[in-house]
Amino acid sequence: MNDRIIDLILGMKSKCLEKEESIRQEFGLSPAEYRGITAMEFDEPCNCNMLSQRMGLSVSRGSRVIEKLVKNKYIVCEVAPKDKRNIILKLAPRGARIKKKIDSMLNDCEQVIESKLSNTEIKNTLKIFHKLGDCL
């Protein structure tokens, strides 16, 4: 067998994207909305720059995604009490419900993977993924 590492990585990426698309379709989310909701933390407000960074987007593109998330009632914007120029973003109840369901579905996937690997294999896999991430 002549497997290249990059081919295996791309194959796993494809499977992960299929799972993500399935989750997005279940909740009727665009890729940007999915990215924004999953980048938010429960009970941890953030600003536009921070959320854009977590989504891996420029601030200008992130702002457009944030506007859509607010419009669709997934997140809420509040003015910071100490600095009126600073906007604080929080998950809205609708966004929090969806994030909780997404997290649960991803945890279910994680459990399936972990059920098929020993503790040593899990530790080694995590090490290898971290190392591969550093290489790329």
Q: Can you give the pTM of this predicted structure? A: 0.82
How much is the pLDDT for 114? 94
Domain ranges for the chain, please list them: 5-135
Fill in the DSSP letter of residue 44: B
Tokens of 44: 């941890």
Residues 6+ away with beta carbon under 8 Å from 74:
33, 36, 37, 91, 92, 94, 95, 98
Digits of tens for pLDDT over the chain (136 positions)? 568 999 999 999 999 999 999 999 999 999 989 999 999 998 888 999 999 999 999 999 999 999 999 999 999 998 877 776 778 999 999 999 999 999 999 999 999 999 999 999 999 999 999 999 999 8
Q: Give the per-residue pLDDT at 84.
A: 67
Pick the CATH number of 5-135 from 3.40.640.10, 3.40.50.12280, 3.10.450.50, 1.10.10.10: 1.10.10.10
